[in-house]
Amino acid sequence: MRPSPRFTQSALVGWARDLGPDRLSSAALEAALSPTMARLKLPQGILESLTGVSYRRLYPADLPTHYGGLQAAKKLLAANPDLTDKIELHFSTSVGRDFLEPSVASTVAAALGLGPQVKSLDLGSACLGFVDGLEMAARLIEAGALEYALVTAGENSRPLLENTLARLASPETTIQTFFRNFASLTLGSGGAAMVVGPAALHPQAPKIKGVVSLADTNSNDLCQGDFGGMETEATKLLIAGVKLAAATFNLGQKTYGWTDQTFDAVICHQVSRVNTDKLAQTLNIPDGRLFKTYPEYGNMGPVAAPFSFDLAFESGFLKSGQTVALMGIGSGLACSMMELELP
């Protein structure tokens, strides 16, 4: 998609998050896999030492995958009741789907009581979906096609995690199989919701200043999965993802004049310590500018970036007057980087 000139009309006017109630440690996962790990001569502690993920959160198995996004949206609209009747578009950006039809977005919209005037659509781009949803909403606002849009995402990784544990517990599991499924053990659960609206009516809201995006679809086979499991070629995925991120930032330099000093804070989708550190190194992001959530929450898919933004805002990591990058890389591969200005 062609990069846009500076955005002037769009802002993040509300946001909220939700979190799976069950806190599961990497040590507990390894205990469940101890017979396999002993047979493969893998040391205890390898999951946390290689990924930096100490814990992840899970919802009960009987809850739908979109539950967290729905709960986050309920919190957002309860805190901003005047927005409910103003929403004209809703994107559900969840990776997980409990059924092929109807759309997840229609289920969430019904539960929220959104009116018949609201167009509800699923917008999927793996872990990048939420950032893409914000971009599409902002572009429509900039074009004068609407005023308010709701973006949601919810992930319940418990079914995938339990299926992965069952597969890896098999006596036929090889070291290759173990590490192709390794990334599945980092997944966490949660939800996020944001409303994009007119900046002129919300002068205290973070303004969306621009977005750049690039894709590397030749790498679409490096991470593939469903509820049955997710297999990843981790090293190739890391190399291709970081290369794409560098190219995307370079596009931002050409389009908006970004430099290494443009962003006071960086909020991104996070997979693990290795991926996050390599991204920071490649884009020359000082450690103090990147807000990290993977140690406590793991990889939350499309929920990660908006969830981290909310947590960073609440904790005081984000401050008035800052220029913030909200970015992500999704399987496919796709990368988007959004510039925000905090009033």
Q: Is the dihedral of CA 259, 260, 261, 263 positive or negative?
A: positive
User: pTM of the full predicted structure?
Assistant: 0.96
pLDDT of residue 229: 74
Q: What does the DSSP 8-state code read for residue 42? A: P
CA–CA distance, 250 with 262 (Å, rounded to integer): 13
CA nearest 93: which of 276, 330, 272? 330
Is 127 catalytic? The answer is yes
What is the CATH class of 203-341? alpha beta
For each of the chain's 343 residues, which pLDDT tens digit applies? Answer: 776 779 999 999 999 999 999 999 999 999 999 999 999 999 999 999 999 999 999 999 999 999 999 999 999 999 999 999 999 999 999 998 888 899 999 999 999 999 999 999 999 999 999 999 999 999 999 999 999 999 999 999 999 999 999 999 999 999 999 999 999 999 999 999 999 999 999 999 999 999 999 999 998 887 887 777 788 888 888 899 999 999 999 999 999 999 999 999 999 998 899 999 999 999 999 989 999 999 999 999 999 999 999 999 999 999 999 999 999 999 989 999 999 999 9
Identify the active-site residue in 48, 127, 155, 335: 127
Four-residue CA torsion sign, 135, 320, 322, 331 = negative
Active site includes 223? Answer: no
Instruction: Give the contacts of 14 (CB within 8 A, at least 6 positions apart).
Output: 76, 79, 80, 83, 194, 195, 197
Instruction: Identify the CA nearest to 232 among candidates 272, 269, 268, 267.
Output: 272
Q: Give φ, ψ of 218 to 5 degrees.
A: -65, -15
* The pair of three-digit structure tokens given for residue 164, joined into one six-digit string: 């992965």
Domain assignments of the chain as residue spans, ordered by start: 203-341
Instruction: Please report the pLDDT score of residue 234 as a whole number.
Output: 80
Radius of gyration of the chain (CA): 19
CA-to-CA distance for 188 and 299, rounded, in angstroms?
5
